[in-house]
Structure 1
Amino acid sequence: MDSSKNPTKDNNELTKNTKNTKIVLMSPAGSIEALHAAINNGADAVYLGVKNFNARRKNMGNFTFENLPETIKLAHFHNVEVFVTLNTLIKNNELDLWFDTLDKVYRAGADAVIIQDLFLLPYIKKNYPNLKIHISTQASIMNYAGLKNWENYANRVVLSRELDYEEITEIAQKSKIPLEVFCHGHLCISYSGQCLISSLIGKRSGNRGLCASSCRKEYNRNGYLLSPKDLALLNKIPQMIESGIHTIKIEGRMKSPEYVGTVTKYYRKAIDNYYVNKWQNFTHEDFNQIRMSFNRDFTTGFFDKNNYKNVLSPELPTHRGIFIGKIKNKTLKLEYELYVHDGIGFWDHQKKEMKGIFVPKIIENKTEINYAKEGSEVYIPLKNFKDGASVYLTSKSNGKSFIGELKKYNLILEIITCEFRKPLVLKGIHNDVEKTLISLSEIQEAKNAALSKEDIEEKLNKNDFFNVKLSGNLEQNLFLPSSSLTDLKNQLNNIFLPEIHLQKSEPLKTHHLLKNEMKIENNNDNNDGKINNHKTYTKTQNQLCVRVDSVELVKKVAPFSNIIYFDLLDPKFNEAKTIAKNINPLIKFFAYTQLVLSDLDIENIIKLLKKEKPEGIMISNHGLLRVEQEIDFPLEKHGYYTLNVFNDLGVTFLGKEQITPIISLELTSEELFKFKNKEFMVYVHGRPIVMSFKGVREEKQLTDELDITFPLVITPQKNTEMLYSRKIALLDKIKSYLSNNIGNFYLEFFERDYKNSFDYVTTEIEVYKKVLEKKDIGDISLLKRGTTIGNFVKGVM
């Protein structure tokens, strides 16, 4: 095995790296070929998916339960760890299958699992104590406060891609567990795990591994305004290492083996150069080699502070290779060398599409040539060779492959016994240990072709680990059945392979018994087994919980609401609270807090809570889950839908934390009706956030190719939220919820949707109130006009 890389294993891993503890390089393995490419080019670890429950469900190369054990064994033989992605949100009716999948992954020998649904972590930790848990970037951990709430359940956290170097360094200094950060590949323009656009538009959820890539569409007829470049932090490796993170991660489970091999090779070189004090920045030509494998242009992403405006690539949303020129007067002046048989792409600016083809001929000065250097003016006889088209080099006919064959280790087996009517006995030495192979059947007399050394070597060499050569004499005219040779090959792998991290201990409970762990528990124990002394609230069924964004709207909704949520950072918070209480003394007034928060933002929120003393808080970010520990007055807690509560385990976990959540907007009514624990709220009215962006966008709204418009809103923290194109309105569905013992309803009313017609808000909320009071509401067709029922019926796949 290759021990030169010596990756830091999780058992002994540190949260900070030193000159003696190399940062770990993790590569994607979307297929067995990509796995080989990662291993050959220096990956310390790989991450891969199985058929179900991973964020790349569309990937045809996902591994099966049948080949997973051998895949892991192969990686471990080369001293490469294997992490299996189970990073989607899980529905109640999938929990049995999910834990069955987890159990198979555990028994296959995986080094860790990567999880998005955080509320499953206590059950994994309790029942699979030897299985390491890595929190996915899909879980939206973007501050130390959020990480701290989960570090007792996890062995590693993959931080949000939106964090800059200073933020990463600060979190690494405080964290008790190792951190992982993406260094290369596809970027989500929205915070990962917080994108609902493809779910609400096409019923395909990014939280379920079926993202529809709405960010790659054209908007405002002005380009691909949400399409990000690809992350490339190759020249930031020194800063990444010095930040104290444990692992850097390459994106790309749906990319080619060539991509995996090329990118892994360059990042391996960068890391090794740093540790032997030979660091120098990589050149433009080095990046061109990476560009050839895949790129949408490169960016350092959010790693550089205030760099968000340089993240987007509105011109072209697909792989572009290397730009080599624009056709003018039927001539292409090359900005990069070109060979016959190279792959090129023509970007048609009017049709907004790329046409790819191999170069059949190159004409220069009316002469056919095989090679044209940079600066040459050439003509290529193709129908897409038209003035105005941009041309990109997408593959090289003489390009170097970084995939390669996996290294095998030479093993000499000595023939000890080879006699008629006796088993064949072979002996070899590996890792200073002598081991013996004995055939299942006895050697027979050959009736046709006799057994040869070459026959045995050919059969034994059909393995992923050893090159076998036989020594000694083989008797003539003898025969051994093919099945015995196959068994000898299997013995070779089983006997000569070293101990390779297979899970030896049984889980404390099998997945079949976990159902007993998932029952609803109505007690005040928190999730660490300690008693929560904070005030316990008796939840009231059948109530309207309403968020508004102006004092005028407070006046309109207060007579009909049980709870009002108002932005804690709004200067008029106290005024709004006073008005609400004057109108309705029984009303509860809650502070609303945003999704995207830094640790500094959370500190400011805590200071404001102490000053304003609201009766409750709406929590959108994991950093505020246990905010009551920082204050000295009773505070009721509700959870926004950004917490991604998808199943009973989530409701129960948060219930123990005294949090009542808004259930995920991606579940259907039928799925909600089947919840055992119904201590949650349902989003029944408003425009939900479908994307959350770091930084301030200049546009007021974005209109897609179908003329569907999505408003943009700037948060107090100077980030941007993109809202759904239509209001969700479930006025006529409330009765069905009530009949299924669901009575907590969440509504949002914002000034931008009503402009000067605030009286219409009164009309709408009054109807909701009548439904709750089981009064006749008459014809509501006008109120439903222009609205949608969201995922109420169809849900997401």
Structure 2
Amino acid sequence: MIVNGNEIEILAPAGSFENLKTAILSGADSVYFGLSNFNARRNAENFSSFEDIKEAVDFCHLRGKKAHVTLNTLVYDNEIQDLVKEIEVINKAGFDAIIVQDLGVINILKQISKVPIHASTQLSVHNVSDAKKLKDMGFDRVVLSRELSLKEIKRIMDEVDVEVEIFIHGALCMSVSGQCYFSSALGERSGNRGLCAGVCRLPFYVREKGRYDLSLKDVCYIDYIEEFANMGIASLKIEGRMKSKEYVKSVVSEIRNKIEFGKYNKKLLKDVFSRSGFTDGYITGKRNNMFGIRSEEDKSYTKAAIEEIKSKDIYEDKVKVDIKYDFTLGKNSYLEMIDEDNNIVSVKGDIIEEAKNKPTAKENIEKNLLKLGSTVYEINDMEGKADNNIFVPISSINELRRNATDKLDKIRISKFPVYDIGKLIKPKDKSRPIGGKNIAVINDINTLNEFILDYFDETYIPLFELNKLNKDLIVKYKGKLGVEIPRVYFDEEANINKNLLKAKELGIKKGLAHTIGKIAMLDELDFEIMTGFGTNITNSYSVDLLEKEIHNLKNVILSFENTINNINKIKSNTELSIIVYGYLPLMTARNCPVKKEIGCKNCNKKQSLNDRIGKKFRVKCNGQTSELYNTYPLCVFDRLNKLDSDINKIFMFNDENKNDIKNIIKHYENSELLNDSTRGCYFRKLL
């Protein structure tokens, strides 16, 4: 679509073939969908057989539309063979883009596929450094985090020359995408593995029971299309691979209406699916009144709206063709077809014979050539000649027309490339360094003391709390000290850079970061780098990519959404670490659930959310984001004999006091499990 002279794509969800057809015929420029595995909506109908996949892709390409495939989940080493098979299908089907989260999948795609790669919103792309590094790594497009404002989006676009895609309509997650572990912590389903259990839609409250303090309204940013186009945004993405075809039809159609006619039916969109209406809090930067639930009233509106949408016809934008024909006596009939993209086909039919009885009139020939109803084409212009005293069977005219459209179909589809599978180099012959270190990561500087600094081989403190640390301690322990960049940081990154330079001046050389852009910032300043759990590393190919991209990589904290058995098999030339103790952050949210219910003035920074069975989840706010922590700490002290001895052990401390920490270390040294703790995902199956 063209808006204010700028081309902008309407990208629609296709959880099934029926929804795909509905999206394309309603006017979407592209669709995105998943195959059997490795996609973030594994519970959607999706597409499985190659025949179904190829049919879906060809359906798009025939109409000049694009098909994007989602390969946007975390992958384990024992799944790589199946992943490669799926990539081979993607290559042969002719997809236009692959949407990716896992760094290991990126590594593999760069070796065996030539399909353009788009960075999924699951990569938590929320600042300039993230977009810049992903562009440098070969990404053709980045899908930005949904929490960004217009101003923040513009800052990224002004500083990074990469295609940008944003969500224009649909559901909001409470957590920054890629940084939510709630589902896997409470069950065996991971959002990062495509099976989010939707925990944030359940009741949670601070003081008042019956509230839903983690449930956000859906977004509808259709009113901002002109601003998006003027900024140069490439694609407007609609969320909803689990939604109905009526939802897809209505959202695509109303976006088209806004672009073409300057108005749209927002009430219809609210009725077809919303959670107590819509919010534009993130895009405006005014994050008020953003919470909502799917009420019974909403559901009743949806039922009526779907019936209304079903009654509306879809008017497909057909491909315009010009036709030239020649029906000259004694010669083969001839038909030439030229489409709007200047693809030309010509076909010949039977030799034209003289009429013995009633001749075939030119008008009847043209009438039958016009019968393109079941095809993707419609006549723009037609010209030709036909002798007067000729006879042409209707079946002959129809066959000529069908042969021409079939031939044109094949040419149009062939314009989209398909690829053979490339050769994959496995990350073998690697020698993991001898580690076995004990490393502390301190969330609150007030927790830090000399006991911690003496006991642990390395200790990381929050970057922005470095100025609170006693300078004598820095001088004494600077060889052990490191700084941690906030996992999510929406402000200008000059603040990060300034504080990193200050840390270097103080003699601190170690840095910890969780997103690829912040890791690159540390690399540029020659810090010794440990990558955080927020990087979501679950396989050898991810580590291999980090080793290729990050010069000063020293240590990789592996995802806690993995089993010890899988972790031990990860190949690396770099030290590896896992979290063995700590209250795991289950969500990182830009919208504070405590603020929603009681306000900042009534918060003593020690609030908790309660679930429906009385479990408490600590909430900690840093001014930019709120972290929601698990009820019980992760603790695997009693099973560390199952972990390879050269893997480092990470202890995450929040607000534990000195006695708490001494007790934790005592249990660790005695290989004893702490009371009221959890072993997390390390020793159970995660789907």
Q: Spell out, residue by residue over 1:522-542, the C-alpha distance to the aligned partner (whole angstroms, 9 max, x if none).
A: 7xxxxxxxxxxxxxxx95511
* SS in structure 2 at match of 1:36: helix
- 2:346 aligns with 435
Counterparts of 1:356-505 in structure 2 under 5 Å?
A: 395-396=306-307, 400-401=311-312, 403=314, 407=318, 428-431=335-338, 433-436=344-347, 465=376, 493-494=406-407, 496-500=409-413, 502-504=415-417
Q: Spell out, residue by residue over 1:202-237, the C-alpha distance to the aligned partner (whole angstroms, 9 max, x if none).
A: 110111111100010011223211111110011111
From 288, 294, 299, give the equivalent of 1:309. Answer: 288
Segment drifting more, 741-750 vs 58-67 = 58-67
Cα distance change, pair 79–731 in 1 and its aligned pair in 2 (3 A)? same
* SS in structure 2 at match of 1:702: strand
What is the identity percentage for the equivalent residue pairs of Structure 1 and Structure 2? 27
Counterparts of 1:50-61 in structure 2 under 5 Å?
A: 50-61=35-46
Segment drifting more, 27-36 vs 429-438 = 429-438
- 2:619 aligns with 712
Cα distance change, pair 711–628 in 1 and its aligned pair in 2 (3 A)? closer
Alpha carbons 1:36, 1:403 under 8 Å: kept: no
Distance 1:288 1:586 in 2: 60
Alpha carbons 2:523, 2:529 under 8 Å: kept: no
- 1:299 aligns with 279
- 1:787 aligns with 677
Give TM-score scaled by structure 1 length: 0.72
Distance 1:222 1:192 in 2: 26
Alpha carbons 1:165, 1:243 under 8 Å: kept: no
Q: What is the identity, as a one-letter code, of the residue corresponding to 2:480? A: K
Q: CA RMSD in A?
A: 3.6
Q: Spell out, residue by residue over 1:642-691, the C-alpha distance to the aligned partner (whole angstroms, 9 max, x if none).
A: 01111111112223413322101110111112212273101110011110
Alpha carbons 1:54, 1:86 under 8 Å: kept: yes
* SS in structure 1 at match of 2:469: helix
- 2:540 aligns with 648
Alpha carbons 2:62, 2:409 under 8 Å: kept: no
Query: Does residue 542 of the first structure (1) align with residue 436 of the second (2)?
Result: yes
Alpha carbons 2:4, 2:229 under 8 Å: kept: no
Alpha carbons 1:30, 1:49 under 8 Å: kept: yes
* SS in structure 1 at match of 2:135: coil
Task: Give 5+ residue unaligned stretches, structure 2.
Answer: 351-363, 380-385, 599-606
From 650, 664, 673, give the equivalent of 1:746. Answer: 650
Q: What is the identity, as a one-letter code, of the residue corresponding to 2:178? A: G
- 1:691 aligns with 587
Distance 1:493 1:672 in 2: 52
* SS in structure 2 at match of 1:564: strand
From 556, 569, 586, give the equivalent of 2:464. Answer: 569
How many residues end up aligned between the 2 structures? 633
* SS in structure 1 at match of 2:650: strand
Q: Spell out, residue by residue over 1:492-524, the C-alpha distance to the aligned partner (whole angstroms, 9 max, x if none).
A: 5345543336554644xx35x31x2543567xx
CA drift at 1:588: 0.8
CA drift at 1:434: 4.9
Distance 1:666 1:462 in 2: 52
CA drift at 1:394: 5.2
- 2:193 aligns with 208
CA drift at 1:629: 5.2
Q: Spell out, residue by residue over 1:28-67, the C-alpha distance to the aligned partner (whole angstroms, 9 max, x if none).
A: 1222222222222221211122121111110014464212
Segments of 4+ in structure 1 off by > 6 A?
408-417, 460-463, 487-491
Distance 1:183 1:301 in 2: 13
Alpha carbons 1:26, 1:47 under 8 Å: kept: yes
Counterparts of 1:36-55 in structure 2 under 5 Å?
A: 36-55=21-40
From 181, 205, 208, give the equivalent of 2:166. Answer: 181
Which of the pair is proportionally richer in helix? 2
Distance 1:164 1:590 in 2: 32
Distance 2:317 2:48 in 1: 19
- 1:444 aligns with none
Q: What is the identity, as a one-letter code, of the residue corresponding to 2:501? A: K
Distance 2:638 2:629 in 1: 23
CA drift at 1:473: 5.7
Cα distance change, pair 504–592 in 1 and its aligned pair in 2 (3 A)? closer
Q: Spell out, residue by residue over 1:528-577, the C-alpha distance to the aligned partner (whole angstroms, 9 max, x if none).
A: xxxxxxxxxx95511101122234543332232101111121155431x7
Distance 2:187 2:349 in 1: 59
Q: What is the identity, as a one-letter code, of the residue corresponding to 2:473? A: I
Cα distance change, pair 542–225 in 1 and its aligned pair in 2 (3 A)? same
Cα distance change, pair 706–118 in 1 and its aligned pair in 2 (3 A)? same
- 2:489 aligns with 597
Q: Spell out, residue by residue over 1:700-746, the C-alpha distance to the aligned partner (whole angstroms, 9 max, x if none).
A: 2111112222110112x4310111121000101212213xx442010
Query: Does residue 144 of the first structure (1) align with residue 39 of the second (2)?
Result: no
Alpha carbons 2:105, 2:542 under 8 Å: kept: yes
- 1:386 aligns with none
- 1:616 aligns with 510
Q: What is the identity, as a one-letter code, of the residue corresponding to 1:288? A: K
- 2:603 aligns with none
From 253, 257, 269, give the equivalent of 1:290. Answer: 269
Distance 1:22 1:629 in 2: 36
* SS in structure 1 at match of 2:282: coil
CA drift at 1:295: 1.4
Q: Spell out, residue by residue over 1:343-362, the C-alpha distance to the aligned partner (whole angstroms, 9 max, x if none).
A: 668xxxxxxxxxx7xxxxxx
Distance 1:157 1:84 in 2: 14
Segment drifting more, 262-271 vs 564-573 = 564-573
- 1:369 aligns with none
From 666, 682, 689, give the equivalent of 2:561. Answer: 666
From 513, 519, 523, give the equivalent of 2:428. Answer: 519
Distance 1:288 1:202 in 2: 37
Alpha carbons 2:201, 2:215 under 8 Å: kept: yes
Query: Does residue 796 of the first structure (1) align with residue 686 of the second (2)?
Result: yes
Q: What is the identity, as a one-letter code, of the residue corresponding to 1:759? A: N
- 2:353 aligns with none
Q: What is the identity, as a one-letter code, of the residue corresponding to 2:441? A: R
Cα distance change, pair 97–61 in 1 and its aligned pair in 2 (3 A)? closer
From 475, 480, 483, give the equivalent of 1:588. Answer: 480
Distance 2:545 2:406 in 1: 45
Counterparts of 1:331-342 in structure 2 under 5 Å?
A: none
- 1:764 aligns with 664
Distance 1:291 1:309 in 2: 19
Distance 2:481 2:309 in 1: 68
From 566, 573, 579, give the equivalent of 2:473. Answer: 579
Q: What is the identity, as a one-letter code, of the residue corresponding to 2:565? A: E
Distance 1:695 1:398 in 2: 34
From 166, 182, 200, give the equivalent of 2:151. Answer: 166
Q: Spell out, residue by residue over 1:312-365, the C-alpha distance to the aligned partner (whole angstroms, 9 max, x if none).
A: 11xx3358548xxxxxxxxxxxxxxxxxxxx668xxxxxxxxxx7xxxxxxxxx
Cα distance change, pair 406–32 in 1 and its aligned pair in 2 (3 A)? farther
The answer to which structure, 1 or 2, has the higher relative contact order (CA under 8 A, 6+ apart) is 2
